[in-house]
A and B are shown apart, each in its own frame.
Chain A
Amino acid sequence: MKLFKWVVTTFLLLALQPVLAAESGTALKADAIKKEPYSDAQSVGTLGVGDKVNILKKDGGWLNVTSAKGSGWVRMLSIRKGDAKKEKGVLDSFKGLASGRAGTGKVVATTGVRGLNEEELKAASFDAKELSLAESYLTSKADAQSFANQGKLKPRSFDYLPLPQ
């Protein structure tokens, strides 16, 4: 019985993960729909510019989608998430639901306690105390390494990208 409870709880928690459940999207460019989230995976179809998709989940740079052109994995950057024409409020409330963090996003804009505009920046004066406080939180290289280990973050080598002309 306890196990059952645990299983149900886990399932519910999983379901509440910040997945992109059934979010819609539009193809920004023509791209292949792959069977697996890898570039050398088999193609099962091709999306054309403007084709609508339903986004089921994400894996790295890939989105699992269903569409009229087929279902499978498409490069995340080939898809524009959400319906561009949709109201911002609608989008945000959906986002809040999907992430389990209702209210973020839109609230930021409407509470309006404090902005940071040019005039404020222009008029700003040096705050030594606040700067010392900021500097007191310094993390050493060694501590950053431990922090990475705790998160099982494995460094890898990767070259910088060529800049597009």
Chain B
Amino acid sequence: MKTIYKLVLLTGLMLGCGTAVAFDFGKELNKALKENVQKKLGDNPGAAANVLSGIVGTSQEEEIAIGRQIAGNLLGASPLVKDKLLQKYINNVGRWVASQSERPDLPWHFGVIDSNDINAFAAPGGYVFVTRGLYQQLQNEAALAGVLAHEIGHVIRQHHLKILQQSSLVALGGEALSRQTGNDEKVQQLIGSGAEVVARSLDKNAEFEADSIAVVLSARAGYDPFSFPEVLQEIGHVARDDSSVELLFKTHPHPDERLDKLNVAMSDRLDNVKGQTLDRRFYRLKP
């Protein structure tokens, strides 16, 4: 149980801090995993597979439990905006969009958290949060649907879960190698560079993938799929040194780069797709 908790905590940190600093947390995660593997293995390295099986072959229940812990931690840092109608509204929009995905039956939860930052977060198992700062940038329901669809994309493709799994595998590889060669320095190097590549490249591509999922799920749900790239354009206009986007820009490629990639992925495929923006139904928050 303690292992899971530690993992969850670290995942939460990785989630929060993303690409730019993920390497350091990856290292921390490896350390924690190594310690735990060491403890549980004792003199029986063969047990390694069992120790890690809970992480590698994560069941839906475990996935939700991990996500739930992360969500609780995130809410500890930033509580919900105290507006029932708003929270119900975002759950309505989010659940409808999630229903268009290949995981419609997860217990999806959405929320607006009370932060001026412009950001959104996803945790495994279907927990999605948007900051008030980002919500206030949105012009209509289709834009909200697009933002939620991006986060839903992370959940259905298990991006955060995969980072965890890959890190744990690297840790195990390092552990096994260490036993064979006894060369700690080399092992550390291997773990370090290995985790670095995984954390960085996977994260960037995961963001591009989630962007393309965002327009597709928006289209499937009957929304104007171009409302999402419009949000990216708006965010791209916020000055790079503005504190409200500091964390977002640190953990995501710049919106201009994301738009470039999205442009290529979309090509002319959505040119003739029209959908609703639902400007009037959009639940507006007072500034």
Which of A's residues lie within 8 Å of B, judged by CB? 17-18, 38-39, 58-62, 75-78, 80-82, 88, 91, 95, 99, 101, 103-105, 107-109, 111-118, 120-128, 130-131, 133-135, 137-141, 143-145, 147-148, 151-164
Across the interface, B271 reaches (CB within 8 A) one of A61, A95, A105, A147, namely A61
Across the interface, B259 reaches (CB within 8 A) one of A58, A77, A148, namely A77
What distance in Å separates the Cβ of B126 from its nearest Cβ neighbour in chain A? 10
CB pair B95 A137 closer than 8 Å: no
Across the interface, B75 reaches (CB within 8 A) one of A131, A144, A148, A151, namely A131
**Total A-B residue contacts, Cβ distance less than 8 Å:** 231
**Which residues of chain A are near B139, meaning CB under 8 Å?**
18, 99
- Find residues 256-287 in chain B having any chain A CB closer than 8 Å to their own CB: 259, 261-266, 268-276, 278-279, 281, 284, 287
**Which residues of chain A are near B266, meaning CB under 8 Å?**
77, 161
CB pair B265 A162 closer than 8 Å: yes
Question: Known interface pairs A118-B21, A121-B16. Does A137 touch B91 (Cβ–Cβ under 8 Å)?
Answer: yes
What distance in Å separates the Cβ of B235 from its nearest Cβ neighbour in chain A? 10
Question: Known interface pairs A133-B80, A134-B75, A141-B95. Does A126 touch B69 (Cβ–Cβ under 8 Å)?
Answer: yes
CB pair A163 B208 closer than 8 Å: yes
CB pair A120 B77 closer than 8 Å: yes
CB pair B287 A103 closer than 8 Å: yes
Give the 4 A-B residue pairs with the shortest CB-CB distance, closest first: A124-B77, A153-B222, A121-B16, A144-B95
**Which residues of chain B are near A163, meaning CB under 8 Å?**
205, 208-209, 212, 265
| B interface size (C-beta, 8 A) | 99
The interface stretch among B37-45, B48-56, B106-114, B194-202 is B106-114
In the bound assembly, the distance between CA atoms of A105 and B284 in angstroms comes to 13
Question: Known interface pairs A114-B116, A161-B216, A162-B265. Does A125 touch B243 (Cβ–Cβ under 8 Å)?
Answer: no
**Which residues of chain B are near A91, meaning CB under 8 Å?**
237
What distance in Å separates the Cβ of A142 from its nearest Cβ neighbour in chain B? 10
- In the assembled complex, B118 has its CB within 8 A of some CB on chain A: yes
Instruction: With CB as the reference atom, state the residue of chain A lying closest to B270.
Output: A61
CB pair B16 A122 closer than 8 Å: yes
In the bound assembly, the distance between CA atoms of A73 and B92 in angstroms comes to 34
CB pair A147 B92 closer than 8 Å: yes
Across the interface, A127 reaches (CB within 8 A) one of B16, B72, B220, B265, namely B72
- In the assembled complex, B13 has its CB within 8 A of some CB on chain A: yes
Q: List 17 A–B pairs whose Cβ atoms lie within 8 Å, in order of A's numbering.
A: A39-B272, A60-B273, A61-B225, A61-B271, A76-B226, A108-B133, A108-B244, A109-B244, A112-B116, A115-B116, A116-B119, A130-B79, A143-B92, A156-B219, A158-B216, A164-B208, A164-B264
